[in-house]
């Protein structure tokens, strides 16, 4: 369950809200993806891509919110609402793989950290014990998000990729 949080305020950028993804977000996600810089796409997908496949969009926007949860960070509202960040997890047993993307103009503002915090709360409520992620070693900002999360963290370096494990159980707020 998404815990209510105060919107993040960024001066002239306005308020940024976090919410669960909806089926009607497909075009917002396509637009957000197309707005990402080439390097950001590479850091997220480990390859250069120009678009998302229809099946990927379907999986992202039609998730169940428990074994597969997706949260978006948005600005604006109604027809002017835009997605500026996204975080997700996909469960596999007691673990879930997590991934994030934040539009460059909104990076280093705490959005990925807030998404991680909310996803951890949702995952705990569904009995998930740990998050796992593969992060390119050069993606220092994402690694820093994980380090600053206050979740117990283990890392393993392999061929330019850092395998991150974040432990969720016993770290929730009572």
Q: Is residue 138 part of a domain?
A: no
Q: Is residue 22 part of a domain?
A: yes
Collapse the DSSP code of 147 into the 3-class scheme (helix H, G, I; strand E, B; otherwise coil) and give the result.
helix
Give pLDDT, residue 174. Answer: 38
* pLDDT at 42 > cutoff 90: no
pLDDT category at 48 given cuts 50, 70, 90 is low
Give pLDDT, residue 146. Answer: 96
Between 13-17, 77-81, 129-133, 156-160, the lowest mean confidence (pLDDT) is in: 13-17
Q: Is residue 83 part of a domain?
A: yes
Contact 88, 115 (CB under 8 A): no
* pLDDT at 2 > cutoff 80: no
Give pLDDT, residue 106. Answer: 86
For the segment 99-114, what is each residue's pLDDT rounded down to a tens digit?
Answer: 998 988 888 889 999 9
Number of domains in the chain: 1
For the segment 111-159, what is each residue's pLDDT rounded down to a tens digit?
Answer: 999 999 999 999 999 999 999 999 989 899 999 999 999 999 999 999 9
Mean pLDDT rounded to a whole number for the chain: 84
Q: Is residue 163 part of a domain?
A: no
Helix axes 140-147, 111-125, angle to 10 degrees: 50
What is the rounded average pLDDT of the residues 17-44? Answer: 81
Q: Is residue 160 part of a domain?
A: no
Structure tokens at 66: 């428990």
Give pLDDT, residue 82. Answer: 92
Q: Is residue 146 part of a domain?
A: no
Q: Which residues is 91 bridged to in the sheet?
A: 96
Q: Is residue 156 part of a domain?
A: no
Contact 117, 153 (CB under 8 A): no
In the sheet that 130-136 helps form, which strands lie side by side, from edge to edge?
8-9, 15-20, 68-75, 82-92, 95-102, 130-136, 161-167, 153-158
Domain containing residue 12: 8-128
| Most confident by average pLDDT, 14-28, 141-155, 158-172 | 141-155
Nearest by Cα to 132 from 158, 161, 154, 160: 154
Distance between CA atoms of residues 26 and 21, nearest Å: 9
* pLDDT at 12 > cutoff 60: no
CATH at residue 83: 3.40.630.30
Q: Is residue 161 part of a domain?
A: no
* pLDDT at 28 > cutoff 80: yes
């Amino acid at each position: 369950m998404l815990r209510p949080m105060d919107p993040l305020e960024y001066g002239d950028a306005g308020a940024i809200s976090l919410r669960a993804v909806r089926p009607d977000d497909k075009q917002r996600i396509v637009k957000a993806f197309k707005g990402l810089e080439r390097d950001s796409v590479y850091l997220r997908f480990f390859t250069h891509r120009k678009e998302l496949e229809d099946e990927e969009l379907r999986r992202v926007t039609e998730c169940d919110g428990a074994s597969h949860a997706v949260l978006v960070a948005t600005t604006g509202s109604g027809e002017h609402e835009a997605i500026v960040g996204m975080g997700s997890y996909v469960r596999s047993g007691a673990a879930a793989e997590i991934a994030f993307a934040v539009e460059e103009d909104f990076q280093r503002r705490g959005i990925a950290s807030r998404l991680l915090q909310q996803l951890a709360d949702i995952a705990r409520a569904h009995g998930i014990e740990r998050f796992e992620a593969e992060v390119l070693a050069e993606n220092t900002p994402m690694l820093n998000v994980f380090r600053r999360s206050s979740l117990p963290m283990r890392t393993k370096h392999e061929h330019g990729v850092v395998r991150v494990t974040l432990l969720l159980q016993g770290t929730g707020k009572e």
